[in-house]
Structure 1
Amino acid sequence: MSGIRYSAVIAACIGMSFSARAQVNPNEKLAQALKAIQENYVDTMEDERLTDAAIRGMMKELDPHSRYFSREESAGMRQAMSGSFVGIGVQFILQHDSLYVTQVIAGGPAEKAGLLAGDRILTIDNEPVTSIPEGNYGIMKKIRGQKGTTVSLAIQRKLIAGVINKEIERGTIPDKSVKAAYMVNSHTGYISLSIFNLTTRTEMDKAIQDLKKQGMEDLILDLQGNGGGLVQSAIGVADEFLQKDQLVFYSVGKDKGKDYYYSGGFGNFMTGKLVVLIDQNTASASEILTGALQDWDRAVVVGRRSFGKGLMQRPVNLFDGSVLELTGARYYTPSGRSIQKPYKGANYEDNVHTRLASGELTDANVIHFPDSLKYTTLVSKRTVYGGGGIMPDKYVPIDTTEYAGWLQRVTGGGLVNKVTFDYMDSNRTMLLQQYKDFNSFNKQFTVPDNLVKEIVTTAEKSGLMLQPGSKDRTLSLLTLDIKGQIAGQLFASNDYYLQVMNSDNDSYRTALQILENPAQYAGYLKSDAGVKKK
Structure 2
Amino acid sequence: MKRAKILWSVLMLLISYSAHAQMNPKIKLQDALKLIQDNYVDPVNDEQVVDAAIKAMLGSLDPHSSYISREEIEAMNEQMTGSFAGIGISFAMVADSTFITGINPDGPAARAGLQVGDRINMVDGASIFGKGLKNQEVMRMLRGEKGKAVKLGVIRKSQPDQLEFNVMREQIAELSINTSYMVSKNVGYISLAIFSQSTRREMDAALKKLKALGMTKLILDLQSNGGGLVEAAIGVADEFLAKDKLVFYSVTNSGVKDNYMTGGFGQFMTGDLVVLIDESTASSSEILTGALQDWDRAVVIGRRSFGKGLMQKGLGLSDGSVIKLTAARYYTPSGRSIQKPYTKGKTDYFEDFNRRMASGELTEGGHINFPDSLKHTTLISKRTVYGGGGIMPDKFIPIDTALYSAWLNKLMNSGRVTQAAFSYVQQNRKSLIDKYADFDAFDHSFKVDDQMTDQIITSATKQGLKLPPVTDQVARKTIAVELKAEMADMLYLGKGYALRVRNEASTAFGTALNILNNQKVYNQFLEGKSSTNNSSTSKITKK
Query: Normalising to structure 1: TM-score of the pair?
Result: 0.95
Taking the aligned partners of 1:340 and 1:136, their CA distance within structure 2 comes to: 35
Unaligned segments of structure 1, at least 5 residues: none
Taking the aligned partners of 1:205 and 1:456, their CA distance within structure 2 comes to: 44
The 5-angstrom pairing of residues 505-524 of structure 1 reads 505-524=506-525
Q: Supply the AA of the counterpart residue of 1:435.
A: Y
Whether the aligned pair in 1 keeps the contact of 2:470 and 2:476 (CA below 8 Å) is no
The 5-angstrom pairing of residues 392-471 of structure 1 reads 392-467=393-468, 471=472
Alignment partner, residue 196 of structure 2: 197
Q: Measure how far apart 1:465 and its partner are.
A: 3.7
Q: Measure how far apart 1:150 and its partner are.
A: 1.6
Q: Supply the AA of the counterpart residue of 2:126.
A: E
Deviation string 1:68-113 (CA, Å, 9 cap, x unpaired) is 1000011111111111111111111123222111111121111111
Q: Supply the AA of the counterpart residue of 1:19.
A: A
Q: Supply the AA of the counterpart residue of 1:183.
A: M
Alignment partner, residue 483 of structure 1: 484
Taking the aligned partners of 2:316 and 2:389, their CA distance within structure 1 comes to: 30
Alignment partner, residue 537 of structure 2: none
Alignment partner, residue 531 of structure 1: 532
The 5-angstrom pairing of residues 62-211 of structure 1 reads 62-130=61-129, 135-211=134-210
Q: Supply the AA of the counterpart residue of 2:104.
A: I
Residue 9 to residue 492, structure 1, CA distance change in 2 (3 Å): farther
The 5-angstrom pairing of residues 239-388 of structure 1 reads 239-345=238-344, 347-388=348-389
Whether the aligned pair in 2 keeps the contact of 1:377 and 1:383 (CA below 8 Å) is yes
Residue 61 to residue 320, structure 1, CA distance change in 2 (3 Å): same
- Is the aligned partner of 1:233 residue 2:232? yes
Q: Measure how far apart 1:376 and its partner are.
A: 0.7
Whether the aligned pair in 2 keeps the contact of 1:401 and 1:470 (CA below 8 Å) is no
Whether the aligned pair in 1 keeps the contact of 2:196 and 2:232 (CA below 8 Å) is yes
Taking the aligned partners of 2:256 and 2:11, their CA distance within structure 1 comes to: 50
State which drifts further: 210-219 or 485-494.
Answer: 485-494
Percent of aligned pairs with the same residue? 49
Residue 528 to residue 412, structure 1, CA distance change in 2 (3 Å): farther
Whether the aligned pair in 1 keeps the contact of 2:313 and 2:325 (CA below 8 Å) is yes
Taking the aligned partners of 1:235 and 1:254, their CA distance within structure 2 comes to: 22
Q: Measure how far apart 1:492 and its partner are.
A: 3.0
Whether the aligned pair in 2 keeps the contact of 1:280 and 1:351 (CA below 8 Å) is no
Taking the aligned partners of 1:385 and 1:3, their CA distance within structure 2 comes to: 64
Q: Measure how far apart 1:205 and its partner are.
A: 0.5
Whether the aligned pair in 2 keeps the contact of 1:193 and 1:226 (CA below 8 Å) is yes
Q: Supply the AA of the counterpart residue of 1:392.
A: P
Taking the aligned partners of 1:225 and 1:314, their CA distance within structure 2 comes to: 23
SS in 1 for 2:402: helix
SS in 1 for 2:350: coil
Taking the aligned partners of 1:81 and 1:212, their CA distance within structure 2 comes to: 27
The 5-angstrom pairing of residues 212-231 of structure 1 reads 212-231=211-230
Whether the aligned pair in 2 keeps the contact of 1:181 and 1:192 (CA below 8 Å) is yes
Taking the aligned partners of 2:189 and 2:78, their CA distance within structure 1 comes to: 27
Taking the aligned partners of 2:319 and 2:175, their CA distance within structure 1 comes to: 30
Whether the aligned pair in 2 keeps the contact of 1:132 and 1:139 (CA below 8 Å) is no
SS in 1 for 2:266: coil
SS in 2 for 1:366: coil
Q: Measure how far apart 1:17 and its partner are.
A: 5.4
Whether the aligned pair in 1 keeps the contact of 2:96 and 2:130 (CA below 8 Å) is no
Taking the aligned partners of 1:197 and 1:272, their CA distance within structure 2 comes to: 25
Deviation string 1:93-134 (CA, Å, 9 cap, x unpaired) is 123222111111121111111111111111111111148676
Residue 99 to residue 467, structure 1, CA distance change in 2 (3 Å): closer
Taking the aligned partners of 2:5 and 2:470, their CA distance within structure 1 comes to: 77
Taking the aligned partners of 2:372 and 2:325, their CA distance within structure 1 comes to: 31
Deviation string 1:194-253 (CA, Å, 9 cap, x unpaired) is 100000000000110000110001000000110111100000000000000011000001
Whether the aligned pair in 2 keeps the contact of 1:83 and 1:199 (CA below 8 Å) is yes
Deviation string 1:257-307 (CA, Å, 9 cap, x unpaired) is 110001110000001100001111111101100000001010011111111
State which drifts further: 291-300 or 100-109.
Answer: 100-109
Whether the aligned pair in 2 keeps the contact of 1:132 and 1:138 (CA below 8 Å) is no
SS in 2 for 1:280: coil
Taking the aligned partners of 1:334 and 1:271, their CA distance within structure 2 comes to: 19
State which drifts further: 24-33 or 202-211.
Answer: 24-33
Residue 447 to residue 21, structure 1, CA distance change in 2 (3 Å): same
Q: Supply the AA of the counterpart residue of 1:51.
A: V
Taking the aligned partners of 1:388 and 1:135, their CA distance within structure 2 comes to: 37
Whether the aligned pair in 2 keeps the contact of 1:201 and 1:237 (CA below 8 Å) is yes
State which drifts further: 7-16 or 498-507.
Answer: 7-16
Taking the aligned partners of 2:324 and 2:154, their CA distance within structure 1 comes to: 43
Q: Measure how far apart 1:179 and its partner are.
A: 0.5
Taking the aligned partners of 2:320 and 2:103, their CA distance within structure 1 comes to: 34
Q: Supply the AA of the counterpart residue of 1:345.
A: K
Taking the aligned partners of 2:123 and 2:510, their CA distance within structure 1 comes to: 45
State which drifts further: 143-152 or 9-18.
Answer: 9-18
Q: Measure how far apart 1:350 and its partner are.
A: 2.0
Taking the aligned partners of 2:97 and 2:77, their CA distance within structure 1 comes to: 31
Q: Measure how far apart 1:474 and its partner are.
A: 1.1
Taking the aligned partners of 2:363 and 2:96, their CA distance within structure 1 comes to: 42
Whether the aligned pair in 2 keeps the contact of 1:178 and 1:200 (CA below 8 Å) is yes
Unaligned segments of structure 2, at least 5 residues: 535-543
Q: Supply the AA of the counterpart residue of 1:478.
A: I
Deviation string 1:407-438 (CA, Å, 9 cap, x unpaired) is 12101222111111122222222222222111
Alignment partner, residue 19 of structure 1: 19
SS in 2 for 1:152: strand
Q: Measure how far apart 1:21 and its partner are.
A: 4.1
Taking the aligned partners of 1:439 and 1:417, their CA distance within structure 2 comes to: 21
Deviation string 1:48-80 (CA, Å, 9 cap, x unpaired) is 111110111001111101111000011111111
Residue 80 to residue 385, structure 1, CA distance change in 2 (3 Å): same
SS in 2 for 1:111: helix
Q: Measure how far apart 1:462 and its partner are.
A: 2.1
Whether the aligned pair in 2 keeps the contact of 1:251 and 1:331 (CA below 8 Å) is yes
Q: Supply the AA of the counterpart residue of 2:61.
A: L
SS in 2 for 1:240: helix
Taking the aligned partners of 1:498 and 1:101, their CA distance within structure 2 comes to: 19
SS in 2 for 1:485: helix
Taking the aligned partners of 1:133 and 1:14, their CA distance within structure 2 comes to: 61
Residue 326 to residue 160, structure 1, CA distance change in 2 (3 Å): same
Whether the aligned pair in 1 keeps the contact of 2:239 and 2:266 (CA below 8 Å) is yes
Taking the aligned partners of 1:198 and 1:28, their CA distance within structure 2 comes to: 41
**Aligned residue pairs, count:** 532
Alignment partner, residue 34 of structure 2: 35
Alignment partner, residue 389 of structure 1: 390
Residue 398 to residue 150, structure 1, CA distance change in 2 (3 Å): same
